[in-house]
Amino acid sequence: MAGSSVDLAAIRSFLGRAPYLHAYELGDLDPREAPHTTWLADDPVDAVALIYRGLAVPTLVGLAEGDVDRAALLRLLGKVAGALPPRFAAHLSAGVEAVLAPCHALALLGDCFKMALVGTPARDDGGHAIRRLGPEHAGEAVGFYAAHYPDSHFVPANLERGPYLAIDDAHGIAAIAGVHVYSPVERVAALGNIATRRDARGRGHARRVTAALCRLLRDEIDIIGLNVRADNAAAIACYRAVGFEVRHAYSEWRLERSSDDSRSPASLAMDPV
């Protein structure tokens, strides 16, 4: 079900049936992510789940398209529910959380959409400079996110793993757009850490820098997606203006193993693949 025996080619084929739903998982098939990933799948593959350990808190990704895939995913997670990490975040399709409830306390963090780039981003810098950020800009970027997007998952290493662009105005960085997932090998990227300086909002900077990033990625990436909170109307409108459309819904959760659940986590204490 997991570990070195999983068939990554079969997993890739399964995920590729709904590439915008599974953009994160497809990107995490990149060999660079192997140290951080544990794949869960049966043989033959009729559902896939991923435990991603590259963040401070492990994240379970369990997404399904349609009732048949959802039923298979419920069966898969039902087999391992008691052996998941003691605490983790989760990205789950509607109803999938039910199979985890007997073993875990669940807290809903928010309902979200997955959006897909389907249009051609317009060229429009608004007369402002757009530049690529590199490792030498780490201090500048850290300060920007701390002040204007403290809930981001940005760390300086992000600048080495995928492209980040900034748009500048007379007061410095006005907005930044980057990537959470970036794999030219898999030809997939998921945008993230998109933020605007507090006093520069409402001027189109996020749209411009996001569009510029999409144009940059187009030469080596076929699937460009992003996640957005369902209640963030301003962000959704911004991304629609770039050329994205809503494709899928899912929810983000925080889970902690119930104190009265005695099942051992040993079955998932394995080398990631």
Predicted TM-score (pTM) of this structure: 0.91
List the Cα angle 238/239/242 in 5-degree steps.
95
Residue 39 is part of which domain span? 3-114+250-268
Predicted local distance difference test score (pLDDT) of residue 5: 65
The CA distances from residue 13 to 10, 25, 44, 159, in Å, are 5, 12, 12, 30
Domain count, the chain: 2
pLDDT digits (tens, 9 = 90+) for 225-263: 999 999 999 999 999 999 999 999 999 999 999 876 544
Question: How remote is the C-alpha of 210 from its chain's centroid?
Answer: 16
Q: 22 and 106 in one domain? A: yes
Whether 123 and 236 share a structural domain: yes
Q: Does residue 80 sit within a domain?
A: yes
CATH of the domain at 126: 3.40.630.30
Q: What single DSSP character describes residue 203?
A: S
For residue 44, whether the previous peptide bond is cis, meaning omega lies within 30 degrees of 0, is yes
Pair 123, 238 in one domain: yes
Residue 79, pLDDT above cutoff 60: yes
User: Is the pLDDT at 4 greater than 80, yes or no?
Assistant: no
Q: Are residues 99 and 196 in the same domain?
A: no
Q: What angle do CA 111, 116, 120 make, to 5 degrees?
A: 140
Strands 223-229 and 188-196: parallel
State the pLDDT confidence band at 127, using cuts at 50, 70 and 90.
Answer: confident
User: In degrees to the nearest 10, what's the CA dihedral of 92, 148, 121, 184?
Assistant: -60
